[in-house]
Amino acid sequence: MSSMKGKKALVVGLNERSIAWGWLRLAEEGAEIALTYQGKVLEKRVRPLAESIGAALVTPCDLTDDAAIDAAFAKVGETLGALDVLVHSVAFARREDLLGDFVTTDREGFRLALDISVYTLVALTRGALPLMDGRGGGSIVTMSYYGAEKALPHYNVMGVAKAALEAAVRYLAQDLGPRGIRVNAISAGPIKTLAAAGISGFRDMLHHHEEKALLKRNVTADEVAAAALALLGPLGSGITGEVLHVDAGYHAVGM
Ligand code: 0WE
């Protein structure tokens, strides 16, 4: 339980029922952790979690605001002094854009989904660079989903955003490889999270996934976190620009 001893990590996108909850394993493995939250509602959710893992810093960050991102990194710099790990577990699309037809997505809904779900990875990575350069390298992980690769019912503009996110992973990995900074994504199978709770038909999706997946079951947030720990730590030192499926083999099935 010490693969992350001495490592400093920033986790963005955490609440008590998000996949990021699994990121708390980073703390168990000895990492020193900073967390950001967006708005008062999420602050109430994140604070108790932060305390339970002895987070070094909990700071607000409106991810649509470049100045707020700069301010958050200033805080991280003051508190941690450096960064080895960045976890990006952030996505948003308007609720109505995940219900109807993709073809009805308007310009603002499209912009919002790609801004929050994709551009934030670019902005946060840029913010992390000076702190990672001080360490001679680092590792960044973001979260994707199979809807990036195939058309799935209702995933709609989020599928387009995840496709862009996976491409962004490759381009960031290209930029940062020479500096020893690795950038990867985990494409997780469907998991019951706060974000998923409100999605109609999510239960049916979980059942479908369970039946079709090679392992004949769904994956847990813990399994996603375990794979993420591998990518983030020394076990993943040769991996960058990768999209690792942690989906019980669902992506490998043809029929
Ligand atoms: O990426 C996601 C969910 C991301 C998400 C969820 C919401 C729900 C509430 C982004 N924006 C919002 N906006 C809201 O207002 N997943 C991989 C989980 C997920 O979401 C789906 C799925 C799956 C799986 C939406 C439709 C169909 C399947």
What is the secondary structure of 239-254 as a DSSP string?
--S-EEEESTTGGG--
Our mutation pick for probing the ligand 1 site, out of 15, 105, 158, counting the most ligand atoms within 8 A of Cβ, is 158
Whether 83 and 130 have beta carbons less than 8 Å apart is answered as no
Q: How far is CA 199 from CA 57, 145, 185, in A?
A: 32, 15, 23
209 lines ligand 1 (CB under 6 A): no
Instruction: Give a yes or no: residue 83 inside a domain.
Output: yes
The alpha carbon of 49 and the centre of ligand 1 are apart by a number of angstroms equal to 23
Instruction: Give a yes or no: residue 252 inside a domain.
Output: no
The alpha carbon of 102 and the centre of ligand 1 are apart by a number of angstroms equal to 14
Instruction: Give a yes or no: residue 2 inside a domain.
Output: no
Instruction: Give a yes or no: residue 72 inside a domain.
Output: yes
Question: The domain containing residue 138 runs over which residues?
Answer: 8-247
Number of domains, the chain: 1
At 253 the pLDDT is 98
With H, G, I as helix, E, B as strand and everything else as coil, classify residue 150. coil
Residue 199 CB contacts under 8 Å (≥ 6 apart), including other chains: 98, 154
Q: Which residues pair with 183 in a beta bridge?
A: 140
At 40 the pLDDT is 85
118 lines ligand 1 (CB under 6 A): no
Number of the ligand 1 atom closest to the C-alpha atom of 153: 27
Per-residue pLDDT tens digits of the chain, which is 255 residues long: 788 999 999 999 876 666 666 777 899 999 999 999 988 888 888 888 899 889 999 999 999 999 999 999 999 999 999 999 999 999 999 999 999 999 999 999 999 999 999 999 999 999 999 999 999 999 999 999 999 999 999 999 999 999 999 999 999 999 999 999 999 999 999 998 766 777 888 899 999 999 999 999 999 989 999 999 999 999 999 999 999 999 999 999 999
Alpha helices (runs of H) in 81-184, residue ranges in sequence order: 107-114, 120-133, 156-176
At 2 the pLDDT is 85
Strands of the sheet containing 138-144, edge to edge, are 57-60, 32-37, 8-12, 85-88, 138-144, 181-188, 243-246
At 166 the pLDDT is 99
194 lines ligand 1 (CB under 6 A): no
Q: Exposed (0-12), middle (13-18) or buried (19+): which is 25, by Cβ within 10 Å?
A: buried
At 67 the pLDDT is 98
Whether 10 and 36 have beta carbons less than 8 Å apart is answered as yes
At 1 the pLDDT is 72
Instruction: Give a yes or no: residue 200 inside a domain.
Output: yes
User: Cα separation of 195 and 13, whole Å?
Assistant: 11
Residue 187 dihedral angles phi and psi, to the nearest 5°: -95, 100
Instruction: Give a yes or no: residue 3 inside a domain.
Output: no
At 3 the pLDDT is 87
For residue 80, the domain's CATH number is: 3.40.50.720
In the set 37, 119, 145, 146, the catalytic residue is 145
Whether 185 and 167 have beta carbons less than 8 Å apart is answered as no
The alpha carbon of 20 and the centre of ligand 1 are apart by a number of angstroms equal to 15
Our mutation pick for probing the ligand 1 site, out of 15, 41, 88, 98, counting the most ligand atoms within 8 A of Cβ, is 98
Q: How far is CA 180 from the centre of its chain?
A: 20
With H, G, I as helix, E, B as strand and everything else as coil, classify residue 172. helix
Q: Report pTM.
A: 0.96
Whether 169 and 142 have beta carbons less than 8 Å apart is answered as yes
Q: Whose CA is nearest to atom 19 of ligand 1?
A: 196
Whether 70 and 77 have beta carbons less than 8 Å apart is answered as no
Other Cβ atoms less than 10 A from the Cβ of 65: the count is 13
Instruction: Give a yes or no: residue 229 inside a domain.
Output: yes
The alpha carbon of 248 and the centre of ligand 1 are apart by a number of angstroms equal to 19
Structure tokens given for 66: 């470049």
Instruction: Give a yes or no: residue 255 inside a domain.
Output: no
At 31 the pLDDT is 96
User: Cα separation of 15 and 17, whole Å?
Assistant: 6
